[in-house]
Amino acid sequence: MNLNLKKWFYLFWTTLAVGAGASVITNLIVQIIDPHLEWNDIYVFLLGILMGLTYSVLSQMGFFSYLTVNYIAQGMMSKLTWRVVQWIFVIVVFVDLIALRHYFFGDESEGLGYYTILPVIMAVVAVLTAIMKVKMTNPTAFTPTVFFIFVVTVLEGIPAIRENNLDSTLNMMVPITACNVWQILILHKVLKKQTAAPNQ
pLDDT > 90? residue 16: yes
AA letter at 75: G
Over residues 68-79, the mean pLDDT reads 90
Task: Give the C-alpha separation, 191 to 195, whole Å.
Answer: 9
d(CA 166, CA 181): 21
pLDDT single digits (tens) 124-151: 999 999 999 999 988 999 999 999 999 9
Global pTM value: 0.86
Chain center to CA of 113: 22
Which pLDDT tens digit goes with each residue over 176-185? 999 999 999 9
Higher pLDDT pick, 128 / 75 = 128
By percentage, how much of the chain surpasses pLDDT 70?
86
Task: Give the distance from CA 34 to its chain's centroid.
Answer: 24
Residue ranges of the domains in the chain? 5-191
CA 198, 140, 17, 171 torsion: positive or negative?
negative
